[in-house]
Structure 1
């Protein structure tokens, strides 16, 4: 059978979020044909799920340079770079037009179910690196197909796999059975149905990242208007000087304000903090829910539970590839030491690219939130730098691939989306960078892949 040379094959990009579409734009700029496979029905499907949350970075920092050049001939009007978009703004005013500009290079309703080398399972060495990749896809109509690719860039994010209640990383006993009463998203309290779910009720909120800050501050605002509304903030660790982030010292002012708003929720009595509580089980008591810790402590009954304990990568469809991943973070081994949350904040992680993102299996790259594994510190601009470097490497421009073209600000804490819920034309001097598409306790977009 005749097979086309690898250079004639597309580079498959998994995910049409901010980093995936930026990857496609970078590939187009390098003369490489991309094929973006997106499981959802529209660009930025994950971002749209936190459309009500405002980013703590400005428009100037959430538009990829190559994407902007691709959009310019279409008549696209770039938003005011000094203003702050919501997730909905980001998806509607940037990601959707970018996907439109890419045209048939983006396929929606296309879920990647497996990636391998053509004719070579994980254990086969012979002639392995000379074989292209085979990407198995399940379409929205249930049909299946196989795409042959020269390289694969996985920008699928982590949004679909949020962390569980259990302090040991496993679902708490009873968590799955009570799933309808447990949310893993920052609530949109402007939605009447969501507002009714939490108004006048007692809610346990588990998590300690930016998404948790957002939810705490939102529930505090609701408590000011709806009597009986109260939050119980459950932390697995104690409260220290760093718990609420960088505050006024944060070089991203909107992010600093987010931590201060969460602190105010506790100080003003709208939320109680319970520390050192590692949940082991959850069960019903009458029509309420009771959380029990691994040390036997029980929380007073609550009506609802919100879990914002970060995200983790879905590696199942990459199982036939030879990935080099850190045992703890599930991030590429060269990248993991740079993003270890025990050692680093966003500002101390230097920009990185193809060198840190490479695996024993040449030609596969995990980028964006996916590249950070379980680390909760991803910024979208970091993802844009990643895919610029990867595209340069795929084009054979090693000098550009190794060149650093991004400077990160020094910050005391990072990850997640921002609360900064002011009018869209508000300006905060000095704000830069944005969480990647997932809301991070873990991304933005990570809320958010970014984020």
Structure 2
């Protein structure tokens, strides 16, 4: 091992879209990456929702640096105007990219801890001069310790879904009902999964894109399977922004998701229950009864699909000095831009190394993990993050602070997104909450709440 950290690789945790993009940008900067993926293949998490169609098009899902690596192999980019499924994304882009990176990607390599060499989080002396130590557990039961000059955590949040309890904790009885509670959008093409929901009453808890997808899928099933019905449970009320931006969304497929969920309700395939925060899950024979914090009880359901968001797994980073927002568990400089207590549109201007830095130098949480508990993350946001970070690691500060991305707007800009307070449902005077200037440096201050949408 070289005694100088700059001679060591940059460890990237996770071989998903943003992790592999990080590796491509590092390679483009002549910096050696080492991607550690806990699953058996690249894009393991994406493959678990292979049946779900993305609302971004191929043109927005292929990172430019990755495409540059792929081009000499004869790889042909898919039609940029079409929206792939998760399975398409994994097979036609992520796996070929991992193959090009070759030995720079290790699968079945789970990171169990990250620290500084000979320094726990308490020790100050010469801390930044020490390389990182990354502890890894492999699928064959062996372990190793890898030295790194920097760490980019792109491990995502897929494996830590939020519980259905309204207080952020599992509802009483939720664990006991685990065989009838799912936290994923069901793949109704699978005969076994289809049989689980066909002709049954299912509660769908959540108000985001995943809930929209589940409602639309169950509505399609109900057209052919009598007795199939969904109960859509929202913790807040229904307002003008509930179903997203619709036709005003600059990502048409994203707008169409909300319209499909609205159609499921309008056509009688789903009933909406608002202001319902689950406290108890009670058994009623072979069925379940959901009880709210205010005492309301719903009619029995056969299945529950909890789609209440995700949260970051931070335990293996416990020896590092992270600067995380107390609400979202995202980097403190990024949090005000994505806090759903402040706005509901999900639009955040492009950002990079400045917003993603921590007190611990050269550690970065990127991709969905950088958003902590906040929703509505776009792949191209992650690609811009890692482009900026790779430039910073290479010492190119000008490139690190240069914006190279324009994001599509949601068509929704309606104030606070967590609670249905009437005064929060209207944009502030002069516009909405999430304006994006035409030209903006990454190190510029956040747009004010009175900026125009």
TM over 0.5: yes
Which position in structure 2 is the counterpart of 1:232?
A: 231
> Which residue in 1 is equivalent to 2:207?
208
Whole-angstrom CA distance in 1 between matches of 2:357 and 2:316: 18
Instruction: Tell whether 2:288 aligns with 1:311.
Output: no
The answer to whether the Cα contact below 8 Å between 1:345 and 1:411 also exists between their aligned partners in 2 is: no
Give the Cα–Cα distance (whole angstroms) in 2 for the partners of residues 411 and 80 of structure 1: 23
d(CA) in 2 for partners of 1:346 and 1:406?
Answer: 18
Regions of 4+ moved over 6 Å: none
User: Which stretch of the first structure deviates more once superposed, 169-178 or 9-18?
Assistant: 169-178
CA shift for structure 1 position 130: 0.5
* Cα distance in 2, alignment partners of residues 102 and 346 from structure 1: 36
Cα drift, residue 413 of structure 1: 4.5
Q: Which structure 1 segments of 5+ residues have no match?
A: 416-451
Provide the residue aligned with 1:286 in structure 2.
Answer: 285
CA deviations 1:329-373 (Å, max 9, x no partner) are: 101001101111233456641100000000000010000000000
1:377 match: 376
Paired with 2:291 and 2:140, the residues of 1 have a C-alpha distance of: 43
Say which is worse superposed, 79-88 or 34-43, in terms of deviation.
Answer: 79-88
**Paired residue secondary structure (1:194):** helix
Asked whether the equivalents of residues 117 and 128 of structure 1 are also in contact (C-alpha less than 8 Å), the reply is yes
In the alignment, what sits opposite 1:365? 364
Q: Is the 8 A contact 1:39 1:110 kept in 2?
A: yes
* Residue in 2 that maps onto 1:6: 5
After TM superposition, the structure 1 = structure 2 runs for residues 266-285 of structure 1, keeping only pairs within 5 Å, are 266-285=265-284
Whether the 8 Å CA contact 1:347–1:409 is kept in 2: the answer is no
Answer yes or no: is the 8 Å Cα contact 1:367–1:386 preserved in 2.
yes
Instruction: Name the structure 2 match of 1:260.
Output: 259
- In the alignment of these two chains, the number of paired residues is 414
Q: Specify the SS of the correspondent of 2:259.
A: helix
Whether contact under 8 Å (2:350, 2:384) holds in the other structure is yes
What's 1:403 paired with?
A: 402
Aligned-partner SS, 2:11: strand
Instruction: Please report how far the alpha carbon of residue 102 of structure 1 lies from its aligned counterpart in structure 2 after TM superposition.
Output: 0.1
Measured against aligned partners, the alpha-carbon deviations of 1:189-233 in whole angstroms (never above 9, x if no partner) come to 111010000000000110000100000011011011000000000
Q: Match of 1:432?
A: none
CA distance in 1: counterparts of 2:155 and 2:115, whole angstroms: 17
Alpha-carbon separation, structure 2, partners of 1:63 and 1:156: 18
Of stretches 69-78 and 205-214 in structure 1, the one that deviates more from structure 2 is: 69-78
Match of 1:65 in 2: 64
Cross-structure match for 2:426: none
1:38-437 map, 5 Å = 38-344=37-343, 348-413=347-412
CA separation in 2, counterparts of 1:345 and 1:15?
Answer: 29
Distance 1:182 1:348 in 2: 31
Task: Report deviation, 1:82.
Answer: 1.3
Deviation at 1:410, TM superposition (A): 2.3
Larger RCO, structures 1/2 (Cα 8 Å, 6+ apart): 1
What do the CA deviations read for 1:62-84 (whole angstroms, capped 9, x no partner)? 00000000011111111111111
